[in-house]
Amino acid sequence: MSKVQFRLVKEHGNARVGELTLNGVTLQTPVFMPVGTKATIKWLILDMLRDPRYIGDLPEIKLILANTFHLYLRPGEDLIERAWWLHRFENRDGLILTDSWWFQVFSLGWNNTLQGDSFEQGHIDWDKHSVGMKVTDEGVAFRSPHDGSKHFFSPEGTVDIQCALGSDIMMMLDVCSSAWASKQVYLRDMNRTHAWAERQYHHHQWKYDKVRWVLFPIVQWGTDLTLRQKSIDALSPFAPDWIAVWWVSVGEELELKRSVLAFCGPKLPAHTPRYAMGIWTPEDILYSISEWFDMFDCVLSTRLWRHWVAFGDSDTVSSREALSSFSDNTTSMELWWWKTKLRNARYKEDFGPLHKYCPCYTCQNFSRAYLNHLVKEKEMLAGTLLSLHNIVYLHWMLEERKKDMLAK
């Protein structure tokens, strides 16, 4: 019997509202999960995500992410286990998901290792990779980007590390293939990942009833829909609770990306949450909802502020124009899509909020003119106010979307 309780509250077209319960915590889907890579969300105190002073009258944000790779390296899973796991370590109520670490390692050497012909073929010179990664059927050897020390992750080892971290939801070790990989490389990576999934499942299953955490595989393989189907078929026996979909790698065209969601969504079990990893723009989230998906995450909602960008009044596109392509997402909300580039001179004397309907502390208390001043002066407060806004904006948008669906 699955430890994850999930029931459908309302369906509208391909979109749906659900209720998820795990380890005594209940939340409503669709839901966006903020990313706290190193047991914190940059620039924020985690209590802000449940405090009405900062999120308005919205439900508290009950599910966040942390990263297995980074926490393994520093401060180490043993220390976190001695601190009574991540929840106590970061003083966090609610649910914590530890994500698959592969993409973080893979991306560390992205710009230096995928060049020219090797880039087109998806071949990586791991000796030149910034973490010196070596991938075999037994697992992954790599060097720490902090001090160059050598490490090895086996499929079973990553399960043990996440158990020591004490997260509620653990993602399986997999291989994230390059968007430009050849079919041969895709097949090799897929077969390796499926073999790893079986090993991780059996390693975890013997203690499944004794622990709080659950373990999910991840469907991969780019925009090749035939391989996506093979991956769904191969991984489903190892997904008693639910199965996630890694959207794509980096660089694919938008239409191809969305074809993956449209293909995979209805093929996943209807009685479990459908998790699309790495999706973060308002447009893509709403599209994903219209293709059966319930859960989303990406670090870019908080990373955007480093480029002085916030969700809000777009320079070119209104929400009504953006929504016109989502037949299942017609809504009465007046949204204006990302992105507000706050360094622009046009905001120097703009005394309106980032978004007139967003209930976040930033929008309720500060003008674009003030935020323009903060980002130009590179004040740390800009990071706090913009990170808070971007997270709450997506949370608010999904709450409004759910209200719209429930009213129909």
List the domain boundaries for the chain.
Answer: 5-298, 300-408
Give the pLDDT of residue 362: 98
Extended beta strands in 217-266, E state: 218-219, 244-246
What global pTM score does this model have?
0.90
CB within 8 A of 361, min separation 6: which ones?
A: 48, 53, 54, 55, 385, 388, 392
pLDDT at 223: 87
- Distance of alpha carbon 301 from its chain centroid, rounded? 10
Query: Catalytic residue numbers?
Result: 99, 297
Under DSSP, is residue 280 helix (H, G, I), strand (E, B) or coil? coil
- CA 293, CA 31: separation in Å to the nearest integer? 10
Omega prior to 75 cis, within 30 of 0: yes
Output Rg (C-alpha) for the chain, integer angstroms.
Answer: 21
Q: CB count, 10 Å around CB of 187? A: 16
3-state class (DSSP) for residue 6: strand
What is the full per-residue pLDDT of the chain (408 aa) written as tens digits?
789 999 999 999 999 999 999 999 999 999 999 999 999 999 999 999 999 999 999 999 999 999 999 999 999 999 999 999 999 999 998 999 998 666 655 555 444 344 433 333 444 444 445 677 788 999 988 888 888 899 999 999 999 999 999 999 999 999 888 777 788 988 999 999 999 999 999 999 988 988 889 999 999 888 899 999 999 999 999 999 999 998 776 667 888 889 999 999 999 999 999 999 988 788 889 999 999 999 999 888 888 888 888 997 654 444 434 444 444 443 433 444 557 889 999 999 999 999 988 999 999 999 999 999 999 999 999 999 999 999 999 999 999 999 999 998
Arch. (CATH architecture) of 5-298 = Alpha-Beta Barrel (3.20)
Cβ neighbours for 239, distance < 8 A, ≥ 6 positions apart: 216, 217, 269, 272
Cα separation, 103 vs 110, in Å, equals: 10
Instruction: State residue 249's pLDDT score.
Output: 61
